[in-house]
Amino acid sequence: MFNLGKSKNKIIEKMGMAHSALSEKRFTEAIREYDEILKLAPKNLGFQVGRAIILYESGEHEAAKKALQEIILSNRKNRKAVAAIDRIEYIERQSANPEFKKLNQEMRRILNAMWLEIDKKPLYEPSVFWSKICRFHELLLEKYGVEYCKRTVCHYYGTYFLYQWNDPQTKALIKDALAHFSFQPLWNDFVSPSDVGYHEHLYFPYYPIADSRSSFIHKLAVGSLWEFALRNDATGWLDRLEEKGVGNPIEIYRKGKRISQDLARSVLERNLMMEHGGWSDSDPITVMELGAGHGRLAEMMGRTTRCRYLIFDIPPALFVSQWYIQQMFPEEKIFTFRSFESYESICEELEQCRFAFFTPNQMEMLPDRSADLCININSLMEMKNEQIKNYIHQIDRLTKKLFYSQQYFDWTNTDDNIRMTKDKFIVGENWKVVYEGKSPFQEYFFIQVWKRNKAELSKK
């Protein structure tokens, strides 16, 4: 990351102490550690930027901005300083906006209510792995707002960065485009984003897709995925759809139409489910998704079928998907998250709604066979063993016909000391796998479509 010289080990130790202090908002201690680091590496601009960012987080706004401006004056090409200034200017504009403050307060109220609901039953509390992610995502949402979700938290929900040549998914996508002599990805238009977006660490303040090299790779990868999806979309839906722009997605245009990796992936997943379920677009099926990210599949199914869609998730993802679907479908009736004591108390209203949002523990109150199709993508295997067992039971109980699953072939959760492999993932004796394959361009994921046995299908 940096040329640290002979002091490398000491600097790494100090950085660890600084970021441990930061995680607990002990800013004075973190600044003191950075002062010690700068004594060891006084000319390192990266550490200077890191100290300035901590200053800003501690409330020393003017001192932080002055320090960053001095770094830029001495080295105008310093990406970190420019990125930090970009972020600060955005945050200050938002902080001065009464509407942003109001939305943040409402978000906090809803998130608190969601967590209180989950706390009713410890089995549904997130693993250590996901608890860390949830805390960080709430911080991103508070800083940048849910309206910026496609450049912040959604990168954890399946909207991949795709900005490095050596990324296996990026290489496979571009290789596929070249194999089909598809040069459209080169001709697509790309609007370069600012540095306001996802950042994993305070000392890494820039948005990975913002620089020109990364932007070019991202444009090629997403464009290649779109061409692949177009070739393999037998329904023709993708050619009729356009990315709406809700959540401030990266802007890529194909022949004047905004495209996205979310739509490209979702249409292929949608088609596979509909095919194996034997459903037409006009069939009024009910879909249940456990862990829906920002709601990309709910959007796809909502725009292309007559389905009803039930989402079960933990916050803040549940809040994000609820907000997103409300923006995407303003004319539809939506059952927003709330606490309730029995299914009977909500069933009349719920049956009139097209979309509904629940915390995971609330699935226990829904009656058997409530959904025709259940979906889980990339989250079941990230849970604790007892949670996986319980969710499989709930999926079996609630689902009439089809379960669509995408999981890791082999994944180790070091935070919870759990390893899950494909051979351990079995739904139950009443189900059989009717489709199995690798996820396109994602070699570490497998897809399975499970269908309830015919004898079971006839049961109510």
DSSP, collapsed to helix, strand or coil, labels residue 289 as strand
The rounded distance, in Å, linking the Cα atoms of 3 and 251 is: 35
The rounded distance, in Å, linking the Cα atoms of 300 and 238 is: 10
Residue 342 falls in which region: left (phi positive, over 0), alpha (psi -120 to 50) or beta: beta
The amino acid sitting at 170 is T
**All residues at 6 or more sequence positions from 357 whose CB lies less than 8 Å from its CB, including other chains:** 311, 313, 318, 321, 322, 325, 334, 335, 336, 337
**Do residues 143 and 343 touch, judged by C-beta distance below 8 A?**
no
DSSP, collapsed to helix, strand or coil, labels residue 349 as helix
Q: Which domains are present in the chain?
A: 5-95 (1.25.40.10), 168-264 (no CATH), 266-457 (3.40.50.150)
Question: What distance lies between CA 53 and its chain's CA centroid?
Answer: 25
The rounded distance, in Å, linking the Cα atoms of 208 and 223 is: 18
pLDDT of the chain, 460 residues: tens digit per residue: 455 566 888 998 998 898 888 878 899 999 999 999 999 999 888 899 989 999 998 999 999 999 999 999 988 778 888 888 888 999 899 989 999 999 999 999 999 999 999 999 999 999 999 998 999 899 899 989 999 999 999 999 999 999 999 999 999 999 999 999 999 999 999 999 988 888 776 556 678 898 899 999 999 999 999 999 999 999 999 999 999 999 999 999 999 999 999 999 999 999 999 999 999 999 999 999 999 999 999 999 999 999 999 999 999 999 999 999 999 999 999 999 999 999 999 999 999 999 999 999 999 999 999 999 999 999 998 888 899 999 999 999 999 999 999 999 999 989 889 898 998 888 888 999 999 999 888 889 999 999 999 766 666 5
CA distance to 116, 279, 303, 430, per residue, from 309 (Å): 24, 15, 12, 24
The rounded distance, in Å, linking the Cα atoms of 394 and 391 is: 5
The rounded distance, in Å, linking the Cα atoms of 195 and 190 is: 15
Give DSSP secondary structure letters for 356-421: EEE-GGGGGGSPTT-EEEEEEES-GGGS-HHHHHHHHHHHHHHEEEEEEEEEESEEEETTTTEEEE
pTM (2 d.p.): 0.92
